Chain A
């Protein structure tokens, strides 16, 4: 019926009071805080790859992105100006990345459980 017992992922952890739910909640709060801080404090400088590309003369080889006109291109909601638009884009990204990964793992593990059931 159920997956083999695996103490490591139990909702009642043996090694502390922090449940999975609390862990994920605090992790989400931390991640969202990082995003908000990044809007105000992240470096404006080009990153390592961009910097080297500029110095070595191959930055101009970059062609425009096919999705450059998308509603969230360059991490800015095109329909909301300023920092709020960046925040909205960040929220969309966090929700998207989190839900897709969560769904993918659920999908892959449900297939595995069916195999376990048959055996």
Chain B
């Protein structure tokens, strides 16, 4: 089984690795500050579960044809379930554990992997989710549909960001246009798988505990708020 699924050491040069490390650290700091504003210790078990599920799902590589496989990145899913700030922290924990304990993803590429999966994947996924939700009716099936598009878009966006970093920081003589086309093509296919998994998980949580889907809070919060206002009046 192929288990080496993240950016390894040696792909990017030192300056770009340092720059992605600093950017990732700033993003983690901002996420901690923002997450604390609304954090409640009762979300701890659920957030831990999201991290566990993403770690487990990243093991499950699925074939996408012609000698290639894909696996869940999880940024869009985490953002929809726990919000984008906590999602960055969740992906950071997953990437750190994978690199330090399981030698998957280079130590010098830690910043790169956190930036790509925990920031680009999370935020592109979240903004796509919000954007698609804004144009669709406010209902649970539409939340699930938005989750599909969030997953779908987040993967090629992450791949494109990788090629961007690659363009800045590799010593390897390459046809970057060809790398870009290949990365975007394969990761669009993988994005379909990401979208399907994101849709299935979000749908499942919506079915049993819609209140635990951060990105659908408006749908469940509306009713109790109306009742409380009624009592207070």
Interfacial residues, chain A to chain B (CB-CB below 8 A): 3, 6-11, 13-16, 18, 20-21, 23-24, 27-28, 30-32, 34-35, 37-39, 41-53, 55-58, 61-68, 70, 72-75, 86, 89-90, 92-94, 96-106, 108-113
Contact = CB atoms under 8 A, between A and B. Distances in A.
B62 to A, nearest CB: 6
Interface residues of B, number: 82
Contacts of A7: 211, 224
Contacts, number: 264
Contacts of A3: 40-41
Given A93-B97, A108-B32, A109-B43, A48 B64 contact: yes
B69 A46 contact: yes
Nearest to A95: B52
B41 A113 contact: yes
B53 A30 contact: yes
B97 A100 contact: yes
A43 B69 CA distance: 6
Interface string B108-125: 000000000000000000
27 contacts: A8-B221, A14-B224, A15-B210, A23-B212, A24-B48, A27-B53, A31-B53, A38-B61, A45-B69, A51-B68, A52-B182, A56-B178, A62-B9, A63-B9, A67-B101, A67-B103, A70-B101, A70-B103, A74-B4, A93-B97, A101-B51, A102-B45, A105-B41, A105-B44, A106-B41, A108-B35, A109-B43
Contacts of B104: 65, 74-75
Given A102-B48, A105-B44, A105-B89, 17 more contacts: A7-B211, A9-B43, A23-B208, A31-B53, A31-B57, A43-B2, A47-B61, A48-B189, A63-B8, A65-B8, A70-B102, A93-B55, A93-B97, A99-B48, A103-B44, A105-B47, A108-B39
Mostly, the A contact residues are: helix
A43 B63 contact: yes
B60 A38 contact: yes
A7 B220 CA distance: 10
B126 interface: no
Q: State the majority secondary structure of interface residues on B.
A: helix
B136 interface: no
Contact of A56 (B40, B47, B179, B209): B179
Contacts of A111: 36
Given A6-B40, A51-B67, A74-B3, A15 B8 contact: no
Contacts of A37: 60
A68 B159 CA distance: 25
A101 B93 contact: yes
A45 B2 contact: yes
A8 B82 CA distance: 12
A44 to B, nearest CB: 6
Contact of A39 (B1, B49, B71): B1
A90 B56 contact: yes
Contact of A94 (B5, B6, B44, B55): B55
Contacts of A14: 211, 224
